[in-house]
A and B are shown apart, each in its own frame.
Chain A
């Protein structure tokens, strides 16, 4: 096992700069999830850690060993590729056994390991098939199997569950987490799926356009997003953001946008006239039918919108409404039936409001 350290890592494809001076440390045994929009450089970063992509500038360390010039085959890593990269002419069994066969491991142990991986991944019926005879999700599981039969220093996963159905995905998530808890192998895991990131990670790294926006424990990032991008990116449904102006009403500072008046936390570090982004997560926005209740809570005018769409998910109901020409989502755990077109009043949980500077977009 090994820790992974990346310092000042840059990647350029000709004139295109894909990664800008990344710094990242993954402690030995940690499970780090890279999260970011498509094209932000997650795969590139992973492939550079693996040694498949030349490094333009900067260093990659495994423990204290600088591995920049060490060939991928000598880095002792296991990787699940985004495009699977299976060996088309080998059966599923041979695909998974390949690395062990190269190491001249005893045939019996290889068979055991392959059977074990196949049972975890539900691939037993397909062991003697060729990759072209499998569905996309099955192929992805073979790619997964090829990695987990190894005993590497570092696991690199590039969206390993993206092609599985919802149920299988949850199941595999648990298996991977369980595997990690048992083996404690350092893992870097790329995903688009927030739930995956939140549930599996010791540390989440949010990337955008080749830059790390924020890194931290999942809950920390969720509760204290460092900037507007992270706030919007983490959480599903996303945080409600309103661009507004700080102004004074009735001797108190509040955020206003047109007719809308939003209460500010008591300790908010803002000044009158400042432009801010006002953010609040859907679950901190209580919805009610009683205008009076809403009004009294927010001291002033009630915050009133019109219901557009109601999405019951089972445990909770997502209510999408229009508030002063702005889409707002709120989550309710009460089984109140809302109808589209109905008036809806909001009570924001002031202590959970996130404020961001209008210019720098950093958290205030």
Chain B
């Protein structure tokens, strides 16, 4: 023991936290903090598209952002997307978890199968749904045609009013299992005695759910909302693959807009500003949520 200890370099035997924190701290600084600060610095520059020269003018991009209608549209799309998808995933996740919360034979396998969508790469999910929505051969479109719920003149992803829903459904398909997993973990950890007491007190299953299950799971639900909410806020892959923000800008989220500005207009300064605005919006929303619902980690 002693010989091995003394063979290690001195800094590895240190009681001081710094050597142990150094690797992860430096990674965070290089790949996390530095890019953020760099975008902040970029956002203070004005880019001249003709000369491709950048001049330091801190107010330019930020005031442009405020008066940019496309940004406000994107904020609205982003919020709609995140809220609708979150609610669907939450409700579906809870319902499926309630169904799967059983010790009967076969339920273990069902729970395992449930996780399959999670292993599909999001871009692949997007392509898959793109094909299924296809107005000539897509299964989903054809099924809706035969139910008279959809007409071939208005393809799902090509119509402004349905395109966002089309993308949301792909997201819901992929991420509901994640909710199911979290909800199942919560449900399985609930003590069963209060539920017995409630049935003695005359509570129906539905009453037990609303009076006991939900309040007892509130912490877990809040955590799931937070994790998924932040994730949904920065959606990019589904939109990019399925609609590329279209038709028009009907499905243009903030990150999609930032991507367009960055990769299509090569206006790195303004793209950084939009991206930073997204970050600020996420932080503010998440902080409000944490404060209001008293989420604790």
B-contacting residues of A (Cβ < 8 Å)?
50-52, 71-74, 76-79, 81, 83-89, 98-99, 102-103, 146, 150
**Among residues 189 to 241 in chain B, which have CB atoms less than 8 Å away from a CB atom of chain A?**
193-194, 196-204, 207, 211-212, 215-216
Query: Are the CB atoms of B202 and A103 closer together than 8 Å?
Result: yes
Which residue of the partner chain A has the closest CB to B195? A85
Query: Are the CB atoms of A81 and B199 closer together than 8 Å?
Result: no
Known: A85-B194, A85-B196, A87-B197. 4 other contacts (CB 8 A): A73-B202, A77-B200, A81-B197, A98-B198
- Mind listing 18 A-B residue pairs with CB under 8 Å? A52-B199, A72-B199, A72-B200, A73-B199, A74-B202, A76-B202, A78-B200, A83-B193, A85-B193, A85-B194, A85-B197, A86-B197, A87-B194, A87-B197, A87-B212, A89-B216, A98-B211, A102-B201
Counting residue pairs across A and B whose Cβ atoms lie within 8 Å, the total is 55
Secondary structure at chain B's binding surface: helix, strand, loop or mixed? helix
A242 and B207 CA atoms in complex are apart in Å by 59
A71 and B205 CA atoms in complex are apart in Å by 11
Least distance between A153 CB and chain B CB atoms (Å) = 12
Which residue of the partner chain B has the closest CB to A103? B202
Chain B residues positioned under 8 Å from A72 (CB to CB): 196, 199-200
Query: Are the CB atoms of B200 and A88 closer together than 8 Å?
Result: no
Chain A residues positioned under 8 Å from B201 (CB to CB): 73, 98-99, 102, 146, 150
- Most B CB contacts (10 A, CB to CB) among A79, A98, A146 go to A98
A-contacting residues of B (Cβ < 8 Å)?
193-194, 196-204, 207, 211-212, 215-216
Contact of B196 among A76, A81, A102, A103 (CB under 8 A): A81
Which residue of the partner chain A has the closest CB to B204? A73
A84 and B191 CA atoms in complex are apart in Å by 12
Secondary structure at chain A's binding surface: helix, strand, loop or mixed? loop
Contact of A88 among B194, B196, B199 (CB under 8 A): B194
Query: Are the CB atoms of B197 and A102 closer together than 8 Å?
Result: no
Which residue of the partner chain B has the closest CB to A150? B201
A302 and B2 CA atoms in complex are apart in Å by 76
Query: Are the CB atoms of B203 and A146 closer together than 8 Å?
Result: no
Contacts A73-B203, A99-B202, A103-B202; A86 near B194 (Cβ below 8 A): yes
Which residue of the partner chain A has the closest CB to B215? A89
A50 and B194 CA atoms in complex are apart in Å by 14
A71 and B208 CA atoms in complex are apart in Å by 14
A87 and B214 CA atoms in complex are apart in Å by 12
A84 and B197 CA atoms in complex are apart in Å by 9
Query: Are the CB atoms of A50 and B200 closer together than 8 Å?
Result: yes
- Most B CB contacts (10 A, CB to CB) among A73, A84, A88 go to A73
Which residue of the partner chain A has the closest CB to B208? A73
Chain B residues positioned under 8 Å from A150 (CB to CB): 201
Query: Are the CB atoms of A102 and B207 closer together than 8 Å?
Result: yes
A72 and B215 CA atoms in complex are apart in Å by 22
- Most A CB contacts (10 A, CB to CB) among B197, B207, B212 go to B197
